[in-house]
Structure 1
Amino acid sequence: MKSVEVRRGGISSIIRRLFSIFSKKKKVVLGIYGPVNSGKTTLANKISRDFAGVSVGSVSRIPHETRKIQYVENVEIRVPGGGRLLMDIIDTPGIATKVSYRTFLRYGMKKEEAIERAREAALGVIEAIKSLDRVDIALLVVDSTKDPTSQVNFVIAGNLKFRGIPYIVVANKIDLPYSRPESVIKSFPEEIVVPISALTGENIELLYEKIYEVAKR
């Protein structure tokens, strides 16, 4: 999968994004962000398979499986009532406030391999933040089995707000018996929150409708 070209934007990127929103351009860029192992790539794959028949990337129980930006172009989602939205999907590496090679040692990696994996993961975090320059709409994927008030979740949300990027909070993994989507809703009282299971597809249609609604505002 070829990597996304990342450009520094500054003021020009903000102007470009505002222009795209007000002109309701024909295609939007959807960025998927969240902490490590929150289900970002599983969600990206679900969306892409549903409407384009292809996967975006591989998933793993090992943290930081996605260490480079992955994307698929020209995915057209369709919602009830005949609505259609053409978009490019960007799946980003998991964002973390700390990356340690010791994490990977617990998964059986040798020290040299673990250090290299940690280096790649740290670079992936930087690349994920930089990719915000080209995103029109974002999904903040939160693992509903964990505390939603983590620093990472709020850092991502703060970056999106600062840049003026409209976003939807996705309370993922509701298929698990110990999920608490209601805690995600309480933690983001001013945001659109959609509880889903990216793995089973539960409630995914509602997410598609919300993506369409946000894009057409």
Structure 2
Amino acid sequence: MNLFIRTKKRLSKFLNAFFKKRQSRIGIYGPPNAGKTTLSNRIVRDWTGDALGPVSEIPHETRRARRKEGITISNQNGNTVTIDIVDTPGVTTKIDYQEFIEYGMEKDDAVKRAREATEGVAEAMHWLREDIDGVIYMLDATLDPFTQVNIMLVGIIESRDLPVIIVANKIDLPDASASAIRKAFPQHPVIPVSGLEGNNMEELYEKMLDYFG
């Protein structure tokens, strides 16, 4: 009888673990240098006190997807959502090692960085097609949002019917224009923030509660 009870308990524990829904994986996507890692670090730091990865003015500092699990976001009304944040490499249609040489890298290092960045883009696209449950799409609000990469990525996100929040980053800069991004993607919510300064993060967190909860 004791053996039967122990077996039943083990089976119940196994089934509960098997059928338990995993936390939503929220990917932070966008072109290089849009501020994805800066925002990822801001979110992780605000809610856990940690950080996710280094940032740099050199493109493709993030060359592998990095994930921080179990981030619980809440508001004063008691609403909460627990997610995994996935910081992804910047997606672009072409990566040229000459670009890194312009930042002072030696040729061998530049070639290696370009190869790693290309592999990172492929990995980011795999995550998007297979393992992502929602997207924060990052755009530099000082740049024209009408690019091939942005149109392509937003189209892929829409084809997967994923919830997406578009973030107009770098609003601390004088030439930033969140309105241009709203005109480019009127079908999605656009939240203007400064990931570096922390401006308007409360509005982003409220939208994350609505979209990813």
For the aligned pair, the TM-score class normalised by the smaller chain equals: 0.7 to 0.9
Conservation of the 8 A alpha-carbon contact between 1:26 and 1:86:
no
- Residues 8-19 of structure 1: matches in 2 within 5 Å? none
What amino acid sits opposite 1:86 in the alignment?
T
Q: CA deviation at 1:29?
A: 1.1
- Name 1:5's counterpart in structure 2: none
> Alpha-carbon deviation of 1:80?
2.9
Equivalent of 2:211 in 198, 205, 214? 214
Aligned partner of 1:65 among 49, 61, 65: 61
Q: Which residue of 1 aligns with 2:23?
A: 27
The partner residue of 2:199 within 198, 202, 211 is: 202
Distance 1:45 1:80 in 2: 22
Match of 1:134 among 126, 131, 136: 131
Cα shift at 1:151: 1.1
1:80 maps to which residue?
76
1:51 aligns with 2:47: yes
Provide the TM-score with structure 1 as the length reference.
0.86
Please tell me whether residue 182 in structure 1 is matched to residue 161 in structure 2.
Answer: no
How many residues in Structure 1 have an aligned counterpart in Structure 2?
192
Q: Give the drift of 1:124.
A: 0.6
Aligned: 1:111 with 2:123: no
Report the alpha carbon displacement of residue 26 of structure 1 after superposing the two structures with TM: 7.1
Q: Root-mean-square deviation (CA), in Å?
A: 1.0
SS of the aligned residue for 1:186 comes to: helix
Show structure 2 runs of 5+ residues with no match.
1-20
- Give unpaired runs (5+ residues) of structure 1: 1-24
User: 2:51 matched to 1:36?
Assistant: no
**1: CA distance, partners of 2:151 / 2:193:** 20
Counterpart of 1:87, as a letter, is: I
Q: Which runs of 4+ in 1 moved over 2 A?
A: none
Alignment partner for residue 191 of structure 1, among 188, 192, 197?
A: 188
Amino acid at match of 1:131: W
What is the percent sequence identity of the aligned residues?
A: 46
Query: In structure 1, how many angstroms separate the alpha carbons of the residues matched to 2:189 and 2:117?
Result: 29
Structure 1 residues 209 and 136 mapped into 2: Cα distance closer, same or farther (>3 Å)? same
Asked which structure has the greater CA Rg, the reply is 2
- TM-score, with structure 2 as normaliser: 0.88
